[in-house]
């Protein structure tokens, strides 16, 4: 066979084998669709990249109208009604369902760095396939969608909403934490939507500090001496220790907090301070 023909034949065989392997993977049921199982990091990165590129491409011709303060005030009310339950707001947690989705709906406090206005408008109008992000073009008027974009722009300047501290008074300090349960719990309270955490796949977020050095740090959030018990206390009730802070109370149980504290202190081992 001539050289180009042989190359063509080999490519054909390789493509057929790959298709067969993908088919077998799907047919066998081996791929886990559980929202508790995290994506493999390269897969997660690839999907995030594909979404970003797609939004950039599809939103390129949209022209944003000028914004004023009245728009963001109206947008705040619309946001509270339609978006808060999944995305939360500065100092306010999402509803339970928003915490345990995969991918997790991020806090939109950093959306203004990541997206242009026209791109935010496109996302709100069209939603994002296979993520759970709904499309709003048939439910909100064009003006309302621009109001929400104006609010997203203003959000980082808004002080965290004051919030009643939750009444769960269980004491996490006497509980033994389980590292592996802690790793899963971190994803089920959407901690990785605000914090980069070693060993937990998540977006490249800067909303909260990276949780990489918690065994060697002296204080938790500069507020509490860093012991395993205090770390668990903070995870349950950040508002008690920093009433004006941006970390929301997420309704974490004492056992989950102890497990997460165990994981965070252990995850430190692989990371030089
Ligand atoms: C049912 C839950 C849900 C509701 C309600 C919801 N979203 Fe989302 N949203 C998601 C999910 C899930 C994603 C995808 C997150 C990802 O891929 O990282 C998302 C993604 C986004 C993104 C892109 C986030 C990023 O930077 O990666 C924006 C912006 C956004 N939503 C805005 C809104 C606005 C504004 C509203 C209200 C009009 C809203 N969402 C309502 C679930 C929701
Ligand atoms: C909406 C964003 C958000 C979510 C969700 C969130 N945090 Fe935070 N977190 C923050 C911010 C912002 C700070 C910095 C708070 C401060 O110092 O006032 C913080 C601080 C912390 C600190 C102290 C870090 C340090 O360097 O001292 C820990 C520990 C922590 N968070 C753990 C968690 C855990 C565990 C979860 C999940 C149960 C979680 N956070 C969920 C935003 C968030």
Q: Please give the full DSSP string across 60-100, using - where no structure is assigned.
A: TT--PPP--HHHHHHHHHHHHHHTHHHH-BTTBPPPHHHHT
Work out which ligand 1 atom sits closest to the CA atom of 152: 35
CB contact at 8 A, 80 and 95: no
State the distance from the centre of ligand 1 to the C-alpha of 28, rounded, in angstroms: 32
* Alpha-carbon span 262 to 266, nearest angstrom: 6
Is residue 109 within 8 A of residue 90, CB to CB? The reply is yes
- Distance, in Å, from the CA atom of 35 to the CA atom of 132, rounded to the nearest integer, reads 12
What's the pTM? 0.77
CA angle 168, 205, 159 (to 5 degrees): 60
CATH number of 41-157: 1.10.760.10
With CA atoms as reference, report the closest residue to 224 among 238, 213, 210, 212: 238
Q: Do 198 and 189 form a contact (C-beta atoms < 8 A)?
A: no
> Which ligand 1 atom sits closest to the C-alpha of 145?
38
Q: Are 147 and 74 in contact (CB under 8 A)?
A: yes
Question: Could you give the percent of the chain with pLDDT greater than 70?
Answer: 94
Q: Residue 208 C-alpha to ligand 2 middle, in angstroms?
A: 5
* Residue of minimum CA distance from atom 43 in ligand 2: 247
pLDDT for 162: 45
Compute the distance from residue 170 Cα to the ligand 2 centre, in Å: 20
CB within 8 Å of 269: residues ≥ 6 apart: 215
Q: Where in the chain is the domain with CATH 1.10.760.10?
A: 41-157, 172-270
Beta bridge partners of 146: none
The predicted structure's pLDDT at residue 268: 65
Instruction: Look up residue 155 and give its DSSP letter.
Output: G
pLDDT band at 14 (very low <50, low <70, confident <90, very high): very high
**Residues 6 or more apart whose Cβ sits within 8 Å of residue 110:** 156, 205, 206, 207
Read off the pLDDT of each residue in 215-240 and give the average, rounded to a whole number: 90
CATH 1.10.760.10 fits 172-270, yes or no: yes
pLDDT in tens, 24-50: 999 999 988 899 988 888 989 999 999
Q: Which residues line ligand 2 (CB under 6 A)?
A: 88, 107, 186, 189-191, 193-195, 207-209, 211, 217, 220-221, 231, 234-235, 242, 245-248, 250, 252, 260
Q: Is the pLDDT of residue 63 over 90?
A: yes
Tens of pLDDT, residue by residue over 146-162, are 999 999 998 877 766 54
Q: Which residue's CA is the nearest one to ligand 1's atom 7?
A: 133
Q: At what angle do helices 228-236 and 254-267 cross, to 10 degrees?
A: 130
Query: What distance in Å separates the CA atoms of residue 190 and residue 208, rounded to the nearest whole number?
Result: 12
| C-alpha of residue 265 to centroid of ligand 1, in Å | 31
Pairing assessment for the beta strands 219-220 and 224-225 based on DSSP bridges? antiparallel
Q: At what angle do helices 142-154 and 117-126 cross, to 10 degrees?
A: 130
CA-207 nearest atom, ligand 2:
12
Q: What are phi and psi of 112, to 5 degrees?
A: -70, -25
Block residue for tokens 């970390």: 247
195 alpha carbon – ligand 2 mean position (Å):
7
* Spatial contact of 192 and 250, defined as CB atoms under 8 Å apart: no
Helical packing angle, 179-188 and 254-267, nearest 10°: 110
Say what the pLDDT of residue 205 is: 87
254 contacts 244 by C-beta, under 8 angstroms: no
Q: What are phi and psi of 231, to 5 degrees?
A: -65, -45
At 130, is the secondary structure helix, strand, or coil?
Answer: coil
């Amino acid at each position: 066979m001539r050289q180009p023909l042989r190359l063509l034949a080999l490519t054909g065989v390789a493509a057929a084998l790959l298709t067969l392997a993908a088919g077998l993977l799907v047919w066998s049921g081996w791929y886990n669709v559980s929202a508790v199982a995290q994506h493999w990091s390269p897969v997660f990165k690839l999907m995030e990249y594909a979404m970003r590129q797609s939004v950039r491409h599809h939103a390129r011709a949209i022209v944003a109208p000028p914004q004023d303060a009245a728009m963001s005030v109206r947008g705040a009310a619309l946001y509270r009604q339609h978006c808060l339950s999944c995305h939360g707001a500065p100092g306010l947690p999402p509803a339970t369902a928003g915490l345990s989705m995969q991918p997790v709906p991020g806090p939109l406090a950093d959306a203004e760095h990541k997206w242009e206005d026209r791109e935010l408008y496109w996302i709100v109008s069209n939603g994002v396939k296979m993520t759970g992000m709904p499309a709003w073009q048939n439910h909100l008027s064009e003006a309302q969608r621009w109001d929400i974009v104006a609010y997203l722009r203003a959000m980082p300047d808004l002080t965290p909403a004051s919030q009643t501290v939750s009444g769960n008074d269980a004491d996490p300090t006497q509980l033994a934490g389980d590292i592996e349960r802690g790793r899963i719990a971190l994803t089920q309270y959407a901690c990785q939507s605000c914090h980069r955490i070693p060993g937990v796949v998540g977006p490249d977020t800067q909303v909260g500090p990276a949780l990489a050095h918690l065994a060697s740090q002296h204080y938790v959030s500069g507020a509490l001496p860093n012991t395993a018990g205090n770390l668990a206390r903070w995870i349950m009730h950040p508002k008690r220790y920093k009433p004006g802070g941006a970390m929301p109370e997420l309704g974490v149980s004492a056992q989950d907090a102890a497990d997460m504290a165990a994981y965070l202190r252990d995850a430190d081992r692989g990371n030089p301070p």
